């Protein structure tokens, strides 16, 4: 029996209009991983976060809060039949992250004090290796999901967590481009000595992987080094101030989003840092910045990518933290939309 037939069989006893089931699965859907078209790896990791913590709790929060969601999607008919499966976060990964986060804080405090100790150097090497090992594991898991004919995704954790997924997809889709929705450029090199910092993911992506295009939207916090790097022909930046100025000058948001989409190739990876949204929607995130997209503005951009005929080959959602009933709820809704639009773009329904 193929995946679609398996899902159809499981849906015989599922009421999409009923109360969300507390069955430990995303939105209480009845599917197992082997039934799903979209498989999302939970990566509860926030070792190198440099400001607020708690993003390692994001995957668990989103999974728990998802029981509050209704299933109807305005663009995708019967979206819930797609089959979305979120792997529960690993306790062992979370425990390792907690242990290393404490060591990272010691390293940062030492750095800020202008000191350089043998212990700090040892900790830095240990964390860099642990992060590299994590990325290798996500890479292997992502390749396995792709081998099974499913769409891979990552639910972080901090924004360093999807590097292994992006690596797997860049190798599978050599012409792939990335749409990054974020308050930050994340183009710093080895931030605070951490090679795999959440502030360095797209520095690593653009310097280590065969990615053709990076389009950044909603940017409003960056340093001189990042701005200089963003002048690379492969990178296009739509700062929040530029988007708003265009609107103040009379441009419609639709025209701005069309311009964004024109920069993207046929195959698109979406990297969604929740702090790309207005922080009233995600106050608990690790590094909130005033400004940003509304929920509707972000949804419109994602929908327009699919309507343009482009294919979403994978995605991540990162940096959810704070209150489960609000931050987790917003994160769960964005994750569901990313998953259904990715499946719809690949004609999986």
pLDDT at 52: 62
Q: In this structure, is the dihedral angle defined by the CA atoms of residues 75, 177, 215 and 41, taken in order, positive or negative?
A: positive
215 pairs with which residues across the strands?
Answer: 179, 236
Residue 206, token pair as written in the block: 């653009």
Query: Is the model's pTM score more than 0.75?
Result: yes
With vertex at residue 271, the alpha carbon angle to CA 300 and CA 20, rounded to the nearest 5 degrees, is 70
Pairing of strands 311-318, 267-273: parallel
pLDDT at 50: 62
Backbone region of residue 337 per phi and psi (left: phi > 0; alpha: psi in -120 to 50; beta: other values): alpha
The answer to whether 322 and 282 are in contact (CB under 8 A) is yes
Q: What residues contact residue 155 under an 8 Å CB cut-off, 6+ apart?
A: 40, 41, 42, 43, 58, 59, 62, 86, 316, 317, 318, 335
pLDDT at 51: 63
pLDDT at 251: 98
- Domains of the chain by range and CATH? 33-345 (3.40.800.10)
Output phi, psi for 177, to 5 deg. Answer: -115, 165
Per-residue pLDDT of the chain (349 residues; tens, 9 = 90+): 789 999 999 999 888 888 767 788 999 999 999 999 999 999 999 988 766 678 999 999 999 999 999 999 999 999 999 999 999 999 999 999 988 888 878 777 776 677 777 787 888 889 999 999 999 999 999 999 999 999 999 999 999 999 999 999 999 999 999 999 999 999 999 877 888 989 999 999 999 999 989 999 999 999 999 999 999 999 999 999 999 999 999 999 999 999 999 999 999 999 999 999 999 999 999 899 999 999 999 999 999 999 999 999 999 999 999 999 999 999 999 999 999 999 999 999 8
The answer to whether 171 and 152 are in contact (CB under 8 A) is no
Quote the CA–CA distance of 214 and 191 in Å, as a whole number.
20
Quote the CA–CA distance of 330 and 59 in Å, as a whole number.
12
pLDDT tens digits along 97-109: 988 888 878 777 7
pLDDT at 193: 81
């Amino acid at each position: 029996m193929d995946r679609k037939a398996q899902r159809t069989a499981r849906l015989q006893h599922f009421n999409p209009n009923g109360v969300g089931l507390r069955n430990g699965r995303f939105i209480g859907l009845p599917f197992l991983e082997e039934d799903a078209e979209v498989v999302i790896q939970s990566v509860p990791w926030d070792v190198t976060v440099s400001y607020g913590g708690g993003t390692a709790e994001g995957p668990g929060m989103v999974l728990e809060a998802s029981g509050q969601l209704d299933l109807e999607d305005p663009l995708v008919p019967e979206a819930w039949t797609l089959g979305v499966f979120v792997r529960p976060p690993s306790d062992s990964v979370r425990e390792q992250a907690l242990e290393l986060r404490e060591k990272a804080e010691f390293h940062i405090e030492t750095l800020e004090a202008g000191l350089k100790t043998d212990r700090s150097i040892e900790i830095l090497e240990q964390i860099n290796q642990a992060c590299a090992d994590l990325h290798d594991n996500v890479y292997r898991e992502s390749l396995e999901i792709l081998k099974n004919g499913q769409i891979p995704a990552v639910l972080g954790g901090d924004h360093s967590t999807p590097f292994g997924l992006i690596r797997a997809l860049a190798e599978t889709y050599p012409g792939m481009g990335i749409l990054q929705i974020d308050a930050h450029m994340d183009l710093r090199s080895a931030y605070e000595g951490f090679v795999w910092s959440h502030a360095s993911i797209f520095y690593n992506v653009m310097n280590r992987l065969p990615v053709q295009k990076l389009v950044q939207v909603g940017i409003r916090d960056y340093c001189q080094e990042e701005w200089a790097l963003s002048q690379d022909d492969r990178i296009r930046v739509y700062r929040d101030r530029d988007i708003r100025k265009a609107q103040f000058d009379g441009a419609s948001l639709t025209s701005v989003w069309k311009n964004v989409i024109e920069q993207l190739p046929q195959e698109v990876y979406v990297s969604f840092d929740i702090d790309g949204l207005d922080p009233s929607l995600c106050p608990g995130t690790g590094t909130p910045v005033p400004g940003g997209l509304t929920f509707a503005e972000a949804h419109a951009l994602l929908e327009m990518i699919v309507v343009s005929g482009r294919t979403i080959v994978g995605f991540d959602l990162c940096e959810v933290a704070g209150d489960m009933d609000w931050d987790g709820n917003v994160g769960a809704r964005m994750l569901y939309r990313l998953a259904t639009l990715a499946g719809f773009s690949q004609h999986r329904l």
